[in-house]
Amino acid sequence: MKSLRFDTANLLCGLLFIGLGLFFVIQSFSLELGTAFRMGPGYFPLVLAGVLTLLGVVILVQSVKVTGEAIGAIAWRGMLFILPAPIVFGLLVRGAGFVPALFVAAFIASFASERLRVPAALALATGITFFSVLVFSYGLGLPFERFGPWFR
């Protein structure tokens, strides 16, 4: 008799996606759904949550078919630099403005890579900031302050 083999990483990932998807499906019903042509505030989150749940089911099914390698070491360096970057952005954007907040967040996140040194991180943060200002401010015309009250 054959025993089922599971790819642990895909199994955990599939269950996580299904759990999060179902949670947000339930949460989206508290908002007005509307129709496909007149979407309410809960319609798009419901669709995204459904896609997330479906993706979780696909990954869960694949975990039974394919055996993979064990989950490796946790990337502490990545978590140490990637996770605080959007928090720093959120804390700085109102006072410093979009440009300084994005620059600092990109600079912090760039150190998730062990190979990136300070000059390259500065260049990367400058490039990301320049590109983002071009796209969001000039291209899309979003009304945000490039430099906030701390720089006045």
Whether residue 82 sits in one domain with residue 27: no
Q: Is residue 3 part of a domain?
A: no
Whether residue 119 sits in one domain with residue 95: yes
* N-term to C-term CA, the chain: 75
Give the pLDDT confidence score for residue 1 in this predicted structure. Answer: 46
Whether residue 53 sits in one domain with residue 87: no
Nearest to 52 by CA among 13, 9, 109, 3: 13
Percent share of the chain, pLDDT over 90: 44
pLDDT at 2 over 60: no
Give the model confidence (pLDDT) of 85-109 as tens digits: 999 999 999 999 999 999 999 999 9
Kindly give, in sequence order, each residue whose CB lies less than 8 Å from that of residue 138, ignoring residues fewer than 6 positions away: none
Q: Which domain holds residue 36?
A: 8-65
Domain boundary among 42, 65, 88: 65
Q: Model-level pTM? A: 0.57
Taking residues 124-141, report their average pLDDT. 91
Q: Is residue 71 part of a domain?
A: no
Neighbours of 135 (CB within 10 A): 11
How many angstroms separate the most distant Cα atoms in the chain? 75
CA 5 to CA 7: how far, in whole Å?
7
